[in-house]
Structure 1
Amino acid sequence: MSPSHSLSRRTFLTSAAAVGGFAAVPGLLSGCSSTDSSDDLLATIRKQGYVRIGFANEAPYGFKDGGQLAGEAPTLHKQIFKALGVPQLRASIVEFGALIPSLNANRFDVVSAGMAITSERCENAIFSEPEFISPTALMVRKGNPKKLADLGTCSSAGVRVGVLTAAVEKSYAQAAGVSNDKIISIQGQQDGLDALVAGRIDAFALTGISLNWLAKANAGAPVEVLSPFVPMVKGEKQYSPGGAVFRSKDTALRDAFNVELKKITSDPDRYVGLVGKYGFGKSEIPPADLTTAALCKS
């Protein structure tokens, strides 16, 4: 798994759905909207008053919460499209792996799912500038009895580190010097927390975003999430950034989106005010010099 892939893409839904204060679409295979034949999608969606988005129902990136569309991406995108003169999002739930194919089949106009920016995906669609980065963090038992801070301290202390099976944190741990016999494969996020509480592992490594959400979902569990850090592999920082996705021809919409996105990511208080409740803090704001163009070439 590439370091830039998000690791929580494990549970998907395939039905279209009506979502809270956002208008519903019928099925994904229903007729296409008026955006299909437009040479200028931005002008079209402004005129019609809505943009069609696709998401994968995955917390905390884009999901349904009590019938409402919630999560990092829809929250940011609602603000951005409102600033662009498009007041309404029309949302479809799609299996994560089908998001880009469905986008290119014109079933919606934007992927709003916190999708990781990778060179492979850049061959099939265009991305906004990064909306967030995904620094790694450690979940430890309450009080941090092993006095850990990052994977390097895990190596020095010789502790057992839980990582999701086939996830990139294994390579991060190895690069930090954690021995293979101390790296414990975990099937799911909840399994990691349970193993930590039971004493089968001493730390659980995952993105800080996912761990904070896991801790929130298990309020009262005797665990805590340490401050995020950016792992290094072969001298390269592993930021794991994500963004919105557009069809390759829709550069005008992507460029306008980027202008409004920059206004948010350059204002830490505004950014955290919008998406802090989903576990995105100042440490998740992309560095100014981290560009999609460079990520697509890597």
Structure 2
Amino acid sequence: MSRQDAGRGRSPLDRRGFLTRSALLGAAALTPAFVTACSRTEAGTGAPKGDADLLAKLRKQGFVRVGFAGEAPYGFRDGDALAGEAPTLHREIFTALGVRELRPTLTEFGTLIPGLLADRFDLVSAGMAITPERCAKVLFSEPEFISPTALMVREGNPKGLSDFASCVARGATVGVLTAAVEASYAKAAGVPDGSVKTLAKQQDGLDALLAGRIDAFALTGVSLRWLSRTNRGAAVQVGAPFVPVVDGVKQFSAGGAVFRLGATGLRDAFDRELARITGDPARYVRLVGRYGFTEREVPPRSLRTADLCAA
């Protein structure tokens, strides 16, 4: 899903930007706990020690811990089962890698990366958008899907909205998900900050639209199509997808799996299996077509994570 980091939370120490000598002495008094915490991570990466051999560990234990955010159609619970585009692809890939089970942890989208870095899970399985800001903190797989942006509007599209430029021209209020890239796309197009409303969940966007609190709900087209499908009869419609432009660069909303910075071996093995799936569009659609993904969402081979991270 095309999500972006929420604003960086700053602790009191972060705000001060330095530690006083007395604070450092106080920390030294906690040496056993402090040293234990530090010894669990690889120097310079923040990655838990042993990430270099993570795939071997996962094979031995028989499961991989995945974080997801409960957002259809990317990663969500369907009864007792973990469902959606990302878990379905990731289950296929990890089965090929010799890891039989995905063990899920549900969390808010904005806490997926912090949870990964805190070793609460081994990868993020939530259709997360690949952005330079995130690439500075974590490793992404190669793209597992692309999904251009779309607008959901009230039935009949009373304001004639088709993209962010039309929202600016007509003074429309645009709803976006908390921590979502659509907020930055709207800003780049000139939508005033006061006309962008953040919402916690997809359903909140549809409800706000029907209540007249927003004029359009911006999200990836595949997400909005799924939302409309699961709210049959709601007086809304989804417009044609469009590709936002930020600083002259087209934003295709490519998403992938997310790993800690030290987990390069696991990420590379994952990418090899992913390439076998995205290189076979028919197989791709067989796996995730039930969630609204089509051959249009298969990422082109020319779209590489390295380029998206450097954009």
The TM-score, its normalising length taken from structure 2, stands at: 0.70
Distance apart, 1:159 and its partner CA: 6.8
Distance apart, 1:253 and its partner CA: 1.5
Q: Deviations over 1:159-178 (max 9, x none)?
A: 73533377654554465566
Gaps of 5+ in 2: 7-39, 41-47
Contact 1:6 1:240 in 2 (8 A): no
Aligned residue for 1:288? 301
Match runs of 1:47-86 below 5 Å = 47-86=60-99
Which whole-Å CA distance do the structure 1 matches of 2:190 and 2:301 have between them? 30
Which whole-Å CA distance do the structure 2 matches of 1:4 and 1:290 have between them? 18
Aligned residue for 1:215? 228
Structure 1 residues 163 and 39 mapped into 2: Cα distance closer, same or farther (>3 Å)? closer
Whichever residue aligns with residue 4 of structure 2, its letter is: H
Q: Secondary structure at the match of 2:146?
A: coil
Aligned residue for 1:260? 273
Large movers: runs of 4+ above 6 Å: none
Contact 2:175 2:197 in 1 (8 A): yes
Q: Deviations over 1:227-265 (max 9, x none)?
A: 322111231111232211223232222111101111222
Whichever residue aligns with residue 110 of structure 1, its letter is: L
How many residues are aligned here? 268
Aligned residue for 1:29? none
Aligned residue for 1:270? 283
Whichever residue aligns with residue 243 of structure 2, its letter is: V
Q: Deviations over 1:2-44 (max 9, x none)?
A: x86179xxxxxxxxxxxxxxxxxxxxxxxx9xx9757532233
Whichever residue aligns with residue 95 of structure 2, its letter is: K
1:185 to 194, 197, 214: 197
Distance apart, 1:103 and its partner CA: 3.2
Match runs of 1:162-181 below 5 Å = 162-164=174-176, 168-169=181-182, 172-173=185-186, 175-176=188-189, 180=192
Which whole-Å CA distance do the structure 1 matches of 2:308 and 2:80 have between them? 35
Whichever residue aligns with residue 303 of structure 2, its letter is: L
Which whole-Å CA distance do the structure 1 matches of 2:5 and 2:236 have between them? 23
- Which protein shows a greater Rg? 2
Whichever residue aligns with residue 295 of structure 2, its letter is: K
Aligned residue for 1:130? 143
Distance apart, 1:75 and its partner CA: 0.8
Gaps of 5+ in 1: 8-31
Structure 1 residues 247 and 159 mapped into 2: Cα distance closer, same or farther (>3 Å)? closer
Distance apart, 1:50 and its partner CA: 2.4
Tell whether 2:246 aligns with 1:233. yes
Which whole-Å CA distance do the structure 1 matches of 2:4 and 2:193 have between them? 25
Q: Secondary structure at the match of 2:303?
A: coil
The TM-score, its normalising length taken from structure 1, stands at: 0.73
Aligned residue for 1:46? 59
1:88 to 101, 115, 132: 101
Whichever residue aligns with residue 68 of structure 1, its letter is: A
Distance apart, 1:84 and its partner CA: 1.7
Contact 2:52 2:262 in 1 (8 A): no
Question: Share of identical aligned residues, percent?
Answer: 62
Contact 1:138 1:150 in 2 (8 A): yes
Whichever residue aligns with residue 291 of structure 2, its letter is: Y
